[in-house]
Amino acid sequence: MSLDKLPPKAQQYLKQMDDLQKTYASIVTQKQQLQLTLMEYRNASEAIKDVPDDGEVYKLVGNIFFKTNKKKVWDEIQENIQILEARIKALETQEKKIREELERLRGEVNKLLAGMKGSG
């Protein structure tokens, strides 16, 4: 059965599903990128935690390393970890809502198609 033979409501649901699937793919990609960045920050956190408070710590800015204060770098790393975790959690919430909406639309399309078979 071609799409143009489907009821307009089913066509509308399928279009919404297509749009949602594209959004879902984008969210998954963003989440994966953030998770990689989060892993890098956690690794940096592990690497710096054993450095003595008066030990030398360097921070890369562009292509230049600067000597800096361990506490300042530690605080920046922890703040970035918190921000990334919050962003990942927000994306996971969006991801869940989209999955639920896709399931709802899939059910609606299936009902419409079952109604067509019953009347056809």
What span, in angstroms and rounded, lies between the C-alpha atoms of 113 and 63?
60
Task: State the pLDDT at residue 55.
Answer: 86
- Say how many domains are in the chain: 1
Asked if residue 1 is part of any domain, the answer here is no
Please give the residue range of the domain that contains residue 102.
7-119
**Quick one: CA dihedral 103, 106, 108, 114, positive or negative?**
negative
Mean pLDDT of the region 94-119 = 90
Angle at CA of residue 120, ends 12 and 118, nearest 5°: 80
Determine, yes or no, domain membership for 102. Answer: yes
Inside any domain, residue 99: yes
Q: State percent of the chain over pLDDT 70.
A: 94
How confident is the prediction for the chain on average, in pLDDT? 92
Residue 47 in any domain: the answer is yes
pLDDT tens digit sequence for 73-84? 999 999 999 999
Residue 3 has pLDDT above 80, yes or no: no
Report if residue 45 sits inside a domain: yes
Residue 120 has pLDDT above 60, yes or no: no
pTM here is 0.83
2 within a domain of the structure (yes/no): no
Between residues 116 and 11, the one the model is more confident about: 11
Q: Is residue 55 part of a domain?
A: yes
Long-range pairs, 28-34, Cβ under 8 A, ≥24? 28/95, 30/91, 31/88, 31/91, 31/92, 31/95, 34/84, 34/87, 34/88, 34/91
User: Which has the higher per-residue pLDDT, 36 or 6?
Assistant: 36
Q: Taking the C-alpha atoms of 12, 14, 18 and 24 in order, what is their torsion angle to the nearest 10 degrees? A: 100
We report the CATH number of the domain holding residue 27 as 1.10.287.370
* E strand or H helix at 56: none
